[in-house]
Amino acid sequence: AKFVYDFTEGNRDLKDLLGGKGANLAEMTNLGLPVPPGFTITTEACKVYLESGTEPAALRAEVSQHLDALEQKMGKKLGQADDPLLVSVRSGAKFSMPGMMDTVLNIGLSDASVSGLAAQAGDERFAWDSYRRLIQMFGKTVLGVDGELFEEALEEAKRAKGVRVDVELDAADLQNLVAHFKDVVAKETGRDFPQDPREQMDLAIRAVFDSWNTDRAKLYRRQERIPGDLGTAVNVCSMVFGNLGPDSGTGVAFTRDPASGQQGVYGDYLQNAQGEDVVAGIRNTVPLADLENIDKASYDQLMQIMETLETHYKDLCDIEFTIERGKLWMLQTRVGKRTAGAAFRIATQLVDQGLIDEAEALQRVNGAQLAQLMFPRFDLGAKSEMIGRGIAASPGAAVGKAVFDSYTAVKWSRSGEKVILIRRETNPDDLNGMIAAEGILTSRGGKTSHAAVVARGMGKTCVCGAEELEVDTKSRRMTTQDGTVIEEGDVVSIDGSTGKVYAGEVPVVPSPVVEYFEGRMHAGADDADELVKAVHRIMAYADRVRRLRVRANADNAEDAARARRFGAQGIGLCRTEHMFLGERREMVERLILADTDADKAALEELLPLQKADFIELFESMDGLPVTVRLLDPPLHEFLPDITDLSVRVALAEARHEKHENDLRLLQAVHKLHEQNPMLGLRGVRLGLVIPGLFAMQVRAIAEAAAERKNAKGDPRAEIMIPLVGTVQELEIVREEAEQVIAEVEKTHGVELKLTLGTMIELPRAALTAGQIAESADFFSFGTNDLTQTVWGFSRDDVEASFFTAYLEKGIFGVSPFETIDKDGVGSLVRNAAAAGRATRPDLKLGVCGEHGGDPESVHFFHEVGLDYVSCSPFRIPVARLEAGRAAA
């Protein structure tokens, strides 16, 4: 194998082999752009090194050969004393990865060549500055010396001289600093800073290879499901110098605004500096536009190059460049990151420019970005006092009174207060408080901390790891860095999309994108928001190409109406349990308690109420399918709490009051008590053991449909049986249901065309789907319960207890309740769909778990051939978009 590629040999399609940075350096070289010559060592070489512990035998010779060629081209040798060639050694994997090694600049400098560099450049100071940078970077990243030690020495040198910034240090100061740095290296590593240029280079290359396996890099890969054996490439690039005086400098730029997508000049420039100074914020940069006044020729050339790159990559690019004494050099480019809003705007702009087509535009945005655009936000125009910043862990804008413990959070929220729960970090005991709070703020922990994971699972706003905020839960206060104190009860505002924390109430404005979906803002209007126009167009593309239909999980007419505005093509899951709550609870109690005659009465009382609910629902979804699920949850959920009831009974007894009813209730509660209610008497099992229950529900559906029909409506009800494990269960329910339906059709004189299907949410149902399909008109995969039962996880328990640990260990990249576990749960879905269709080719297939609105899962459901996904009304646009992306 060939292990080394000159920049002239590669291209952007070779990211697997050359890494992102190397592939794009090659691409720019071949576009004729001014890239300093160099070569890339392949990921294959890295793989061999990682597997065997040594560099492949051929590597040294190949590197020598490319180095020779480079030296020829540059007319000088690496580290040559009188005129040294210097190089940077830069890591560059296929995916950029936090925790991987940084770049080392100025390799080749040594005690011997530093004066040669000075003589060549005619600048003593520059040479010593470059040398101290080399020792600092090399010491830290290759030799593993604590970087602080160098920082301190540098600070000390500035202090001693009484200056503020590094450019004020002169050659002699820097020469002293070099001596100091070398001492640090010797003391910390027990060896001298290597003087042999080739040894410097080889050590740096090896350090880049090794950095593939740092703990942080490994963890990141496990979480992001990046294979652990890809390896990283290494780029060796001849140095160009931005630190050669005021006609030199370095900068970063975007081909258009990564925040808005607008075309223009965006970037930062720093005179007399080397690469990493810009990011490190050592000195203040100037806006890129100022470069026009500093060096017009380079500026014009840069603008030209940016245009070339945009047309070539057909996307926003970000770039790194350096100007050495008036000559512009390109050091890096890649397709740039952008905000969610910019992604939509850029995609449509590029379509208008004729650079990409609509299908490609769909690939340039995603559902997560759309979801982000739908959260309400803080009004940025309003006055606000930012007091800190943490990690944007779960989006949204939350305002409330500061509370520092869960008990208070619950208590205050019960009395109608909005609260923000502030903790150092959260643990499972905080769960109630987290549920009660508008938002959660922690001063410790990252994106996989307990707070972050649980908040995301609940869709609750969360900022975590705001380290500059000192949280003191004992005295119930938080202190900001500048000493402002937030006491319990003070209002704070937290922005889960940016991580910003504010004192006081920041006004919240609804998202214009939601206003648009709600129909309160029109994309066609001349003054319509640019973002809304872009979203409107992208949604139209998605709707045009998608095959999956999108339905809503909605239990009432109001949700159904909203879902319809958001583009729902029916209801995939109407839960009937809410129809048993509130004032109807009493009837349910009677139903549960009663002997045969009495239950009939209770059922008969419930019937008209249910029917009225269904009529409303069918009306709001007229002409579209509505899947109604018969009663699913365990009955004890409708009965009073066992402790409350026991107390009531005991009190009544003590006072010799009448308590017959409560006593019977209590007995019933005891009787119905289950160790594992989620695996107990629920779903179809209820229908089979409680006489008349399902029949009543079917009758309510059928009569509602009949009335809608007679009122010239177009009801399309589908009756769904939950928790079926075997076809026999379904057969019994079906027989009963068909009788009821036939009766209703006869009495109302209509033909209803009701269909009857089942949820597939137990492993057994999935495994026997072929049989079950004999008695089902449709399947709806209940992937929440299916995930619980396939993994043996109780969702309510495990998310708060050990999921954090699982995420931290990289066992999951994301909770299987958030994104479908394709290999396990997903494979059951795939096989059950195929088996069901083998029995009944026209079997309708859908999914109604939370996964129905999750981007990655939607792609999976598309791929396994389902007909529709169903999700909460708010997720519908996301599902539409992702269904379009999956099909495009």
Q: How far apart are CA 748 and CA 701, in angstroms?
A: 13
Q: Which is nearer to ligand ADP, 211 or 449 (CB)?
A: 211
With CB cut-offs between 5 and 8 Å by kind, which of ligand ADP, Mg ion, none does residue 88 bind? ligand ADP
Compute the least distance from the CB of residue 520 to ligand ADP, in Å.
44
Q: Which is nearer to Mg ion, 133 or 708 (CB)?
A: 133
Compute the least distance from the CB of residue 578 to Mg ion, in Å.
15
Residues contacting 13, CB < 8 A, separation 6+: 23
Task: Please report the DSSP string for 388-415 in residue order.
Answer: EE-EEEE--EEEEEEE-SHHHHHHHHHT
Which DSSP helix (H) or strand (E) runs through 545?
helix 530-545
Six token digits for residue 155: 């600070």
Q: How far apart are CA 118 and CA 126, in angstroms?
A: 7
Fill in the DSSP letter of residue 506: P
180 is catalytic: no
Q: Which is nearer to ligand ADP, 240 or 879 (CB)?
A: 240
Q: Which is nearer to ligand ADP, 91 or 697 (CB)?
A: 91
CB atoms within 10 A of CB 401: 22
Compute the least distance from the CB of residue 677 to Mg ion, in Å.
13
656 is catalytic: no
By CB atoms closer than 10 A (0-12, 13-18, 19+), residue 321 is: buried
Fill in the DSSP letter of residue 192: P
With CB cut-offs between 5 and 8 Å by kind, which of Mg ion, ligand ADP, none does residue 867 bind? none
With CB cut-offs between 5 and 8 Å by kind, which of Mg ion, ligand ADP, none does residue 174 bind? none
Compute the least distance from the CB of residue 788 to Mg ion, in Å.
8
Six token digits for residue 146: 């604590």
> How many Cα atoms sit within 13 Å of 556 on the Cβ side?
5
Are 439 and 508 within 8 A, CB to CB? Answer: no
With CB cut-offs between 5 and 8 Å by kind, which of Mg ion, ligand ADP, none does residue 782 bind? Mg ion
With CB cut-offs between 5 and 8 Å by kind, which of Mg ion, ligand ADP, none does residue 105 bind? ligand ADP
Q: Which is nearer to Mg ion, 245 or 275 (CB)?
A: 275
CB atoms within 10 A of CB 592: 20
Burial string for 658-670 (b: 16+ CB within 10 Å, else e) reads: ebeebeebbebbe
Q: Which of 317, 574, 848, 871 is catalytic?
A: 848
Compute the least distance from the CB of residue 90 to ligand ADP, in Å.
3
With CB cut-offs between 5 and 8 Å by kind, which of Mg ion, ligand ADP, none does residue 847 bind? none
With CB cut-offs between 5 and 8 Å by kind, which of ligand ADP, Mg ion, none does residue 443 bind? none
Q: Which of 66, 180, 450, 851 is catalytic?
A: 450
With CB cut-offs between 5 and 8 Å by kind, which of Mg ion, ligand ADP, none does residue 785 bind? Mg ion
Task: Please report the DSSP string for 200-239 in residue order.
Answer: HHHHHHHHHHHHTT-HHHHHHHHHHT--TT--EEEEEEE-
Contacting positions for Mg ion (CB under 5 A): 320, 332, 761, 782, 785
Kindly report the CA angle at 820 between 816 and 821, in degrees rounded to 5?
70
Q: Which is nearer to ligand ADP, 276 or 292 (CB)?
A: 276
CA-based nearest residue to 866, from 572, 568, 589: 572
Compute the least distance from the CB of residue 239 to ligand ADP, in Å.
4
Contacting positions for ligand ADP (CB under 6 A): 36, 88, 90, 102-103, 105, 237-240, 275-276, 320, 322, 331-332
Q: Which is nearer to Mg ion, 267 or 782 (CB)?
A: 782
Compute the least distance from the CB of residue 275 to ligand ADP, in Å.
2
By CB atoms closer than 10 A (0-12, 13-18, 19+), residue 607 is: middle
Compute the least distance from the CB of residue 287 to ligand ADP, in Å.
18
Q: How far apart are CA 249 and CA 247, in angstroms?
A: 7
Which residues carry out catalysis? 450, 848
